[in-house]
Structure 1
Amino acid sequence: MTEQSETLTNQPLRFSIPTRDARGRLVRLDEVLNEILAAHAYPPVIERTLAEALVLTALLGASLKEAGSQLTLQTQTEKGAIRLLVCDYKDGALRGYAQFDTATAAALPQDPTLLGIFGQGYLAITFDRMKPASEGGGRYQGIVPLEGETLADAAQNYFVQSEQIPTFIRVAVDHVDGRCVAGGLLVQHLPEGEEGRERLHVRLDHPEWAHIEIMSSTIAAAELADPALPLEEIVWRLFHEEKEVRIEQGDLLSKGCRCDPVHIRDVIAKFPAVDRVEMADDAGDIVVDCEFCSRRFPISLASFNN
């Protein structure tokens, strides 16, 4: 592996270390992240938490190789500042939003705990793979408590508890020249060097993974969120002493809100006419709100008579 000058932003970088039975992904979000955040006027704490969730979604979604597959990350909480957080990834398209209690969010300290942000709650991660069930396709969901100092800690617990894969995850969020920049690193151990084999994570003889985990933990938050630092350079700094490190660029990410007036009208058209009348406001419009892009779509009741 050699150093490269190009800085990958909004494009995941995959890497693998064959001699250590390890693989990983890096991502840094800049323009795409700010497009998503611009649709809402989030308080700083909520914005930072959603940015972290979007990085996690990009890291996890980058593992999906089949067209049409989707990764959804969602929190289920009680009494915290954030009442609902949803992010998803599909074919390189990323979207997300957070519903929050304004008063509770305003009372949070500058650096709140995960418990303070969410209260008691759970993190749900759902994979929808577009391939036959016999090949690992279909829907799979894992749910774990929102525990740890960060969302990244909770996601790391998900892999240990639900997937039984030793995993290291770090995410950093910063502001550079007035815009939000966030980056993340995910590294995993692959027993026997292959996917699909028995995962003996409870064994105590994982010297290769212990080494990779120690090297991964040397990553600094400033490195992950530095838009001027190429992702290849981060891999080089962490693992340049390894015999072989393979890298591969992932799909370019984009803002992925999928709301469309034509699609929305087609969905509403499936309802009985009497139900559509009840949905309409005094102006004769059925108004649909998109939480992801914070837009309203008025669909005229009269248009269904055409």
Structure 2
Amino acid sequence: MTDTSAVQTETGFDTVLRFILPDRDCRGRLVRLGPVLDEILSAHDYPPPVKHCLAEALVLTALMGSMLKDEQDQMTIQARSEEGLIRLLVCDYRDGALRGYAEVAPDVPAQVGANPRLETLFGKGHLAVTFDLASTGQRYQGIVPLEGENLSEAIETYFAQSEQLPTRVRTAMAFGQDGGIAGGMLVQHLADGEEGRERLHVRFDHPEWEHVSILADTISHGELVDQALSMEALVWRLFHEEHELRTDGLVPLRKGCRCSAEHYASILSRFGKEERAEMANDAGDIVVDCAFCSREFAIPGMLDEVS
């Protein structure tokens, strides 16, 4: 067996480890979030069940976003409901930059545990996964119901229905006085290897895929959030009996809110003069609230052209 991870510097927090099992036509991603997770979650005082769900969504966004090829490509997860504890949850990824936000109902019952079912969190809602490809200008979107125990199960449904890709996802979150840790693994079977190509004959019961998915199911919650266990050691622990295991590079992660006064001024300049006048306050400024980082930006001078 070939173990290329042994020659690399072992990863810590806030990094995605990409790996391939060539003989099984499978690819995978491992991620463990730490300081970046705390930085994103600290923007709002989320109740425990919302914090747990948003942390899982950020792990899923990092796992899926790290599969993008172009630096300007973007992947977005959006969960929406009109009746649940969480009305809107949005996370996106672009070139290693990760951000997320949840809009919470006014009152969260105290009896709701830290890790409730999706039905408790969202009621009847839907999950949309969107890929915006910069090189072609194309947008691909798949929408699935918010059903199952957690967001990971909903993502597996997305890949099965929208991408026809056999996929297993495992996530884990742990919060303590010193902050949070969130980890996850995603493995997929690609019928023609890493690039996929023709997928008309993908089999969800393919023996190679069944073997890998069974191994993936053995990963434990504790292993995913164990900061003393590197991701290289974890993927080796799972697949050390394979003929060949290749790591395919590391992707560093960072908090990536794109808000700035210049950014919002550019967006507002696209509106007509009358529309900008309606948005402005008595001082003539347009105040923009960034939900991702909980900051307000007062954009001055937007009414200069309004007579």
Same fold by TM-score greater than 0.5: yes
Q: TM-score, normalised by structure 2?
A: 0.92
Structural RMSD (CA): 1.9
Alignment partner, residue 89 of structure 2 = 85
SS at match of 2:15: coil
Given that residues 280 and 301 in structure 1 are in contact (C-alpha distance below 8 angstroms), is that contact kept between their aligned partners in structure 2?
no
User: Residue type of the partner of 1:164?
Assistant: Q
- Asked whether 1:15 is paired with 2:15, we answer no
2 CA distance for matches of 1:55 and 1:296?
27
2 CA distance for matches of 1:114 and 1:151?
7
Cα distance, 1:280 vs. partner? 1.3
User: Residue type of the partner of 1:8?
Assistant: G
Given that residues 126 and 146 in structure 2 are in contact (C-alpha distance below 8 angstroms), is that contact kept between their aligned partners in structure 1?
yes
Alignment partner, residue 159 of structure 1 = 159
2 CA distance for matches of 1:38 and 1:102?
19
Gapped regions of structure 1 (runs ≥ 5): none
Matches within 5 A, 1:163-242: 163-193=163-193, 194-202=195-203, 204=205, 206-242=206-242
1 CA distance for matches of 2:204 and 2:9?
41
Given that residues 277 and 301 in structure 1 are in contact (C-alpha distance below 8 angstroms), is that contact kept between their aligned partners in structure 2?
no
Alignment partner, residue 109 of structure 1 = 113
Matches within 5 A, 1:1-306: 1=3, 3=6, 6-104=10-108, 106-132=110-136, 138-193=138-193, 194-202=195-203, 204=205, 206-301=206-301, 304=304
Cα distance, 1:301 vs. partner? 4.0
2 CA distance for matches of 1:177 and 1:237?
29
1 CA distance for matches of 2:213 and 2:204?
16
User: Residue type of the partner of 1:31?
Assistant: P
Given that residues 7 and 228 in structure 1 are in contact (C-alpha distance below 8 angstroms), is that contact kept between their aligned partners in structure 2?
no
The CA deviation string for residues 92-116 of structure 1, in whole angstroms up to 9 with x for no partner, is 1000100011313545234311100
Q: 1:130 to 1:277 in 2, by over 3 A?
A: closer
Given that residues 118 and 150 in structure 2 are in contact (C-alpha distance below 8 angstroms), is that contact kept between their aligned partners in structure 1?
yes
Given that residues 126 and 141 in structure 1 are in contact (C-alpha distance below 8 angstroms), is that contact kept between their aligned partners in structure 2?
yes
Given that residues 276 and 301 in structure 1 are in contact (C-alpha distance below 8 angstroms), is that contact kept between their aligned partners in structure 2?
no
Moved more, 63-72 or 222-231: 222-231
The CA deviation string for residues 171-205 of structure 1, in whole angstroms up to 9 with x for no partner, is 1000255201100000000113251112424564x
2 CA distance for matches of 1:36 and 1:59?
17
User: Residue type of the partner of 1:11?
Assistant: T
Given that residues 45 and 105 in structure 1 are in contact (C-alpha distance below 8 angstroms), is that contact kept between their aligned partners in structure 2?
no
2 CA distance for matches of 1:85 and 1:294?
15
Gapped regions of structure 2 (runs ≥ 5): none
SS at match of 2:252: coil
Q: 1:211 to 1:98 in 2, by over 3 A?
A: same
Q: Which structure 1 residue ranges, 4+ long, deviate > 6 Å from structure 2? A: none
Q: TM-score, normalised by structure 1?
A: 0.93
2 CA distance for matches of 1:130 and 1:110?
38
User: Residue type of the partner of 1:240?
Assistant: H
1 CA distance for matches of 2:254 and 2:9?
23
1 CA distance for matches of 2:209 and 2:203?
13
- Percent pairwise identity: 52
Q: 1:292 to 1:73 in 2, by over 3 A?
A: same
Cα distance, 1:277 vs. partner? 2.2
